[in-house]
Amino acid sequence: MVVEEVHTDGMGRCLIVRGTISSQPYSLIALYGPNCSDASFWDDTRDFINSHARGRIIMGGDFNATLCPPVDRSDPRGDRLTQPPSSQDSQYHSFVQELGLIDIWRIQHPSTRDYTFYSQVHDSYSRIDCFLISPDCIPSVVSSDIGSITWSDHADVSLKLIPFAPSPGRRWRLDPFLLNKPGVADTIKETTSEYFQLNDTPDISPQILWAAYKPVIRGKLLSLAAYHKKLKLADITSLQTLLRQYELQHKSSPSSDTFTALSKVRSDLNLLFVEDAGRAMLWSKQRYYDRSNKMDSPMARLINPRSQYSPITVI
């Protein structure tokens, strides 16, 4: 995406990134709605979006409201159909209608009841996180899904679009966490020893010997990485399946035993994601180390003078 303009509202609740994707204008919007009735917020946000958004609109976020409470909220009392929608839900519904946006997940799942947030205080579920798109985006949408509630108290929501352009190839880098896996270091030692025993002969120069060793050991590392990634994905898939079963069971009939089992599976799943977070932090440190003394954007941001006083104007 070629970014042309970025606009933020004064409250820090709405961000609009406007640009082009494959020469088609798009406006990507992130929105965080208030958790109480606030008609002025929805009116001001509607005007803000109308003023700055252009082309196709894809909006996602936590709206803290639902479009259709009878199917988007669970009710322990079982009388949700007899309850009128709250003023917050009504304001959100008018906001979506006036902008002409579509809840793409509900379009693709018209009869499914699923939720993205669980309130332990009220013992109820609701679908307050979603993607809203303009009608001209529908042909580009492949699927929209709701994930499981893992490390946050909200479930992740995803929107898959038709690829606009082929992704560029990535340069291979050795995963430093791979060397700490059980048996990997021993396998690398055995492969290295076997390679030099078979190829370290008088007719091969040290330069050729070393140059040929690098693709051999890289191929071995790639196979080991693929093997351990397969094992990790199998564990993640198994835990996500179990987590989904417990979530559906807890959504249909909440109980303390189900919630305890749900929390245990969620904790085990989070442990598998800790390694990914550590790897991302390591690559970030390496990037800043490599570019720290170069005339590049990180250096420009570091030497850019900052204001000494940054008041918080709105909370």
Binding residues: 62, 64, 153-154
What average pLDDT does range 166-179 have in this prediction?
74
Q: Is the pLDDT of residue 224 over 80?
A: yes
State the Cα–Cα distance between residues 133 and 103, nearest whole angstrom: 7
Torsion angle (degrees, nearest 10) of CA 256, 262, 266, 267: 50
SS (H, E, C) 222-290: HHHHHHHHHHHHHHHHHHHHHHHHHHHHHHHCCCHHHHHHHHHHHHHHHHHHHHHHHHHHHHHHHHHHH
Indicate whether 115 and 223 sit together in one domain. Answer: no
Q: Is the pLDDT of residue 163 over 70?
A: yes
Indicate whether 86 and 44 sit together in one domain. Answer: yes
Is 254 within a domain? Answer: yes
Q: What was the pLDDT predicted at 187? A: 92
Which is more confidently placed, 45 or 22?
45
Q: What was the pLDDT predicted at 127? A: 93
SS (H, E, C) 29-45: EEEECCCCCCHHHHHHH
Look at the block and give the residue holding tokens 């679009």: 161
7, 9, 32, 235: the active-site residue: 32
To the nearest whole number, what is the mean pLDDT of the chain?
A: 85
62, 75, 156, 268: the active-site residue: 62
Q: Is the pLDDT of residue 305 over 70?
A: no
Which is more confidently placed, 306 or 285?
285
Look at the block and give the residue holding tokens 């899904």: 145
Q: What was the pLDDT predicted at 186? A: 92
Q: What was the pLDDT predicted at 153? A: 81
What average pLDDT does range 209-225 have in this prediction?
91
C-beta separation of 131 from 157 below 8 A: yes
Would you give the end-to-end CA distance of the chain in angstroms?
32
Check if 109 is active-site: no
Indicate whether 123 and 267 sit together in one domain. Answer: no
Check if 26 is active-site: no
What average pLDDT does range 217-230 have in this prediction?
90
What average pLDDT does range 55-74 have in this prediction?
92
Q: State how many domains the chain has.
A: 2
Q: Is the pLDDT of residue 79 over 60?
A: no
Indicate whether 95 and 234 sit together in one domain. Answer: no
Check if 62 is active-site: yes
Q: What was the pLDDT predicted at 169? A: 60
C-beta separation of 218 from 191 below 8 A: no
Residues of 16-30 as b/e, b for ≥16 C-beta within 10 angstroms? bbbbebeeeebbbbe
Indicate whether 222 and 286 sit together in one domain. Answer: yes
C-beta separation of 96 from 46 below 8 A: no
Indicate whether 209 and 244 sit together in one domain. Answer: yes
Is 109 within a domain? Answer: yes
Model-wide pTM > 0.75: no
Indicate whether 242 and 157 sit together in one domain. Answer: no
7, 52, 93, 154: the active-site residue: 154
C-beta separation of 115 from 127 below 8 A: yes
Binding residues for Mg(2+): 62, 64, 153-154
Indicate whether 12 and 155 sit together in one domain. Answer: yes
Least confident of 7-11, 27-31, 280-284: 280-284
What average pLDDT does range 47-72 have in this prediction?
92
Indicate whether 154 and 109 sit together in one domain. Answer: yes
Q: Which two tokens stand for residue 224?
A: 């080991």
Q: In terms of residue numbers, what domain contains 71?
A: 2-161
| Percentage of the residues of the chain whose pLDDT score is greater than 70 | 88
Q: Is the pLDDT of residue 65 over 90?
A: yes
Q: Is the pLDDT of residue 309 over 60?
A: no
Q: What was the pLDDT predicted at 307? A: 59
